[in-house]
Structure 1
């Protein structure tokens, strides 16, 4: 498989790019290029093509538009102290992308092609990686079914993998702020045997109504509960959750176990290891909404935070449901939450050691 590069004939000027990087936001601006790799049942994966960022041309009967065969990933590249650009655990994202493809009966992109696409785009659009350690270049790899036709007897016979990138500013302006969450009993994100552990477009489309309901209740995010009893905590919006018991040297953190209905977050998995590096006991288990409320009331449960690629670690300050409302700790970001956040960000930006060799140099 060859690497083919077609440079954008009209890239952003240095001045335009500098203006964007001064206040990039999140997902608002995109770099000058993108990557495309096509797959067909007859020929398998084709060449890695770097091309100008631009619109796609799709037939109205393209399978992805009708039957939802679309998966995606999200990961970041960070400017390192020596000026190089590195990303965090890309092989883990590649493996999850493959698992999502399996669940939706799509072609599986090999890990080496996934990583090669990141390297190719980082090389040509290196100037788009912010210098500020609080900022990053967000990669969005995704894949769509491209067979034309409305038959539903079998999966698509062709797929297109695409990679785009967007400079991302600091997620929290003015400091890390705890969020207020809504416990959703009206809607269910995923059920056993469904697509909960796949990172597919339909999961997010189905979540918008619950997020809108949470917003109408004065909350920032929705917390999903299990489909059967609506009492076991699963995850928050597009992020995994952690619960902190105790404090100081006796603190331990617990995250809901993966049951097939939760997204297996790369940040979630990383924190299970990093917590141990810091002397914090980390476990997987089951947490009910009653345990959450009662644990906060008794003081046994001291902090709660969510974790994911976009915000890294987000403290949860208060909780609201149809029947109750309570504060987590004193409502401010807790010390364990902030310790883990600082350590993870330091590792990603190259200011702390990387004992597990998780950072992958791109350029």
Structure 2
């Protein structure tokens, strides 16, 4: 009996006073999982997984969280939903991670959406802005990590109505929830003018090698406004091939996921990308106006120390860095209660949290019935070298 008592005391000691042990949490470690496209059509976004490991190294060098080191299991899913299912099951059932963080893609996260909620595993700050991630009534364990595609799409429509009221609009979109969310919101923002203003639409599959035929069809429509909802290599193709075909609309709108200069615009040709218009909730680390900003300086210092061989000007790393600081904020708020339920509770009770690299005036507030992180945006235009913001912050205008 004495041996058993001593054993129990030892267990209580190593759990640091936690009411019960949780998957992924020991006395010395917090295990986080994610899937990333380290291969496949969206491998250009794999930097999000790499910066996650670097940020965890930084946190661990500074003492960890609640006396524990962060450990990341980041597995390749090649942006293939069946592979995402396989790898996520491995993370939950074999690796026994505490939570899944930042996994990329609408289709890929959709494939494990119901599974993770059934297992009551937090699926936090995933890299997709589909509207389905803000559904706490049906899927309380899932939170998106980007501005809502719906909110963004409506804002682009408002910009068109304000600056190009006589627009003839062509739309290209990926044939999945990612594309459909943007397009439906864009049409909603145009209101009763959508039918007369939109002159052509085309979709593509993520498995296609090129989108040349879709672009040729859209060019032939005579459109003077182009809303291009394409990501990864398709974003680069869209920009480059549109220019090569002589399809140069007066207004070329792209979503926030197509704004990385290093991974999207440079392969497309910066001269071809000049004039693109998008939106942002983050400071552009390459914009001279932020050169002396404390947050931007801290970000570059982090990159120099923990990712010295990477291009620090790649905004993919910057967006990942900000999401990681939010994850760290949530884990610290948990104190020593690192149960999955408490992690979710803290993630859904954020109150005007300031994060590095957010534009001035933007904070993060969530609630049990409000899972949207970023509900303010600012328009920006690419000038051939960097994205330059213009206008005031725009509140979430989703109806």
* TM-score normalised by L of structure 1: 0.29
The structure with the greater share of residues assigned to helix is: 2
The structure with the greater share of residues assigned to strand is: 1
Return the structure number with greater relative CO, CA threshold 8 A, min gap 6: 1
* TM-score normalised by L of structure 2: 0.27
